[in-house]
Structure 1
């Protein structure tokens, strides 16, 4: 097995965000990820029943609320000129 040098600056995360990622790019990507998560949660909720259905719809609502907040932040960071 190949041994890799220990990087003391490495985080515990497997994935990292590019350091040069702009706030706008981050917000756009977050919005897209949340839209996908919302679609998956809603699809799962419709396929479920009982308390699992209610919990999944609740999760879908939290995801959608988060997406709306991200979209507001994105709109404020990119003012539309009139």
Structure 2
């Protein structure tokens, strides 16, 4: 059994992006993740009160801004002809 762990044995991240992932695929996934985060933040904000509500709405706005940027980048990607 290994008793000591070297830094080289520990990855910097638990998750990795799939090799060969296109920019479009990455942006689509980011868009979906941000849409989910936005829905959760807004739901939590409406269930909160006081400063927690304001902070959560602020977080929801930051998420929405990021979502708008990602969606704008997606619109600017040239469309590839479909194989179908």
TM range (shorter): 0.7 to 0.9
Task: Identify the residue that residue 33 of structure 2 maps to in structure 1.
Answer: 33
**Secondary structure of residue in 2 paired with 1:42:** helix
Structure 1 residue 2, shift from structure 2 partner: 6.8
**Secondary structure of residue in 1 paired with 2:17:** coil
The separation in 2 between residues aligned to 1:79 and 1:16, in whole angstroms, is: 27
Give the TM-score taking structure 2 as reference length: 0.81
Q: Indicate the RMSD between aligned Cα atoms, in angstroms.
A: 2.5
What residue ranges of structure 2 are gaps of 5+ in the alignment?
none
The separation in 1 between residues aligned to 2:56 and 2:63, in whole angstroms, is: 10
What residue ranges of structure 1 are gaps of 5+ in the alignment?
none
* TM alignment of 1:3-82, pairs within 5 A: 8=8, 11-79=11-79
